[in-house]
Structure 1
Amino acid sequence: MGTRPVLTQPPPAPRSCQALPQDWGSGLCDCWLGDGIGLWGTACPCLLACRLARAAGESGVLPCLPGALVALRTLLRQQLRIRGCVLEDWAAVCFCCPCAVCQMARELRLSC
């Protein structure tokens, strides 16, 4: 009178009306698009990163924490349904931080 082992899993629930992942609205190296973000990101990337964190609903001191910009970029990418992976987020922030911050700010359409 023992229980039977589970041999199959139920199918996943159908997804309803989710938007397909998209690409970033601008390239990583498109810092000078005439929107003022590139100038601000070049002159004061730390201030732009703090403003970006606040616009994303996080604390303004978040960018001061080690690894926090990678987490912020991943969060934005997931919220905005942008294609990519954590490794790409890490590489963008690690090797081209001011450009990555500008790209994120443009995606949130921060006004300067």
Structure 2
Amino acid sequence: MSSTLVINQPQPLMEVRDSDEWGSGICDCLQDLPDCCFAFWCCPCFACGISDKYGECLCLPLLDFFTCLIPPITMSMRVSMRQRYGIKGTMFNDCVCATFCTSCTWCQMSREMKRRKLHVVLVSAKNT
């Protein structure tokens, strides 16, 4: 009986083939009118749905409504999305968008998720 020691595991590689810009502007709500209306009339419900689709806790955006100034969850989701998709931007811009255009920010993130379908590609993976 022989034992084999594995030293290096294959690592997943994510290839980004999209632009490093947002697919739509913060005020381009007319590109997806049903989402825009849903976000305008019931932003908490819309934000919870987007958070769930993004892979975060369903109720996470509800924490935004306990703060008075900057909505921390909206801002952090926008920063996370920029990092995941390789979108240029600054935390200051994310803060301004989250604070003054909360529902528009959630709409923009929804459009971005629909537009970008990032697949994980395993490189050098071996079936044993």
Q: Same fold (TM over 0.5)?
A: yes
With over 3 angstroms needed to count, the CA separation of the structure-2 counterparts of 1:30 and 1:18, relative to structure 1, is: closer
For the aligned residue pairs, the C-alpha RMSD in angstroms reads: 2.0
Percentage identity across aligned positions? 31
Q: Cα 1:95–1:79, aligned 2, differ >3 Å: closer, same or farther?
A: same
Judged with a 3 Å threshold, the aligned counterparts in structure 2 of structure 1 residues 91 and 22 are, in CA distance, closer, same or farther, namely same
Deviation >4 Å, runs of 4+ = 17-21
Is 1:95 equivalent to 2:93 in the alignment? no
Mapped to 1, the partners of 2:98 and 2:55 lie a distance apart of 20
**1:33 is paired with a residue of what secondary structure?**
helix
Q: 8 Å contact 1:19–1:81 — kept in the other structure?
A: no
TM-score by length of 2: 0.66
**Given the alignment of the two structures, is residue 37 of structure 1 paired with residue 35 of structure 2, yes or no?**
yes
Tell me: CA distance 1:104–1:34, structure 2 relative to 1, closer, same or farther (3 Å): closer
Is there any run of 5+ residues in structure 1 with no aligned partner, and where? 1-16
Q: Give the structure-1-normalised TM-score.
A: 0.75
**Larger helix proportion, structure 1 or 2?**
2
Q: 1 CA distance for matches of 2:57 and 2:51?
A: 6
Residue range with higher mean Cα deviation, 17-26 or 34-43: 17-26
Distance 1:86 1:55 in 2: 23
**Aligned with 2:21 (options 20, 23, 30):** 23
The residue number in structure 1 matching 2:60 is: 62
3-state SS of paired residue (1:74): helix
Deviation of 1:22 after TM superposition, in Å, equals: 1.1
Please report how far the alpha carbon of residue 20 of structure 1 lies from its aligned counterpart in structure 2 after TM superposition.
Answer: 8.0
Paired position in structure 1 for 2:88: 83
Whose strand proportion is higher, 1 or 2?
A: 2
Instruction: Please say if residues 31 and 38 of structure 1, whose CA atoms lie closer than 8 Å, have aligned partners that are also in contact.
Output: yes
Q: CA distance change for structure 1 residues 56 and 18 in 2, over 3 Å: closer, same or farther? A: closer
Letter in 2 for 1:81: G
